[in-house]
Amino acid sequence: MPSIASKIEAFLNELSVDAVEERVVEYVIREVRNGRKLTDALRDPYVRNRLSDEKLAHVLENPEVAQALEEQIASSFKKQEFGFLD
């Protein structure tokens, strides 16, 4: 049976990971809103050095990230810039 100290340590580790994940979410949203492709933002060393693939999946599930992508897609349609030639 895990000790109280190990449970507290696990809890605090989870809190610190959540804070890092939240900063990465903010970074990805900012980059997408600045016109960067999502795949490029996700490959950025800032993101890759901070999150495992599992935690990165949580970032992609974030509604704010989805909203930023929707805004980018809508803007592309308005400007008729679809990025096919990049």
Query: What confidence tier does 4 reach under pLDDT thresholds 50, 70, 90?
Result: confident
Any domain includes 81: no
Mean pLDDT along residues 51-68: 89
Residues 6+ apart with CB under 8 A from 21: 51, 55, 58, 59
Any domain includes 59: yes
Residue 58's nearest CA partner among 7, 12, 32, 24 is 24
Any domain includes 14: yes
Round the average pLDDT of the chain to a whole number and report it.
Answer: 84
Q: Can you give the residue range of the structural domain that contains 52? A: 4-75
In whole angstroms, what is the distance from residue 70 CA to residue 63 CA? 10
Any domain includes 44: yes
Q: 13-47, pLDDT tens digit by residue?
A: 676 668 888 899 999 999 998 989 888 999 999 99
Q: How many domains does the chain have?
A: 1
Per-residue pLDDT, 16: 63
Any domain includes 86: no
Any domain includes 28: yes
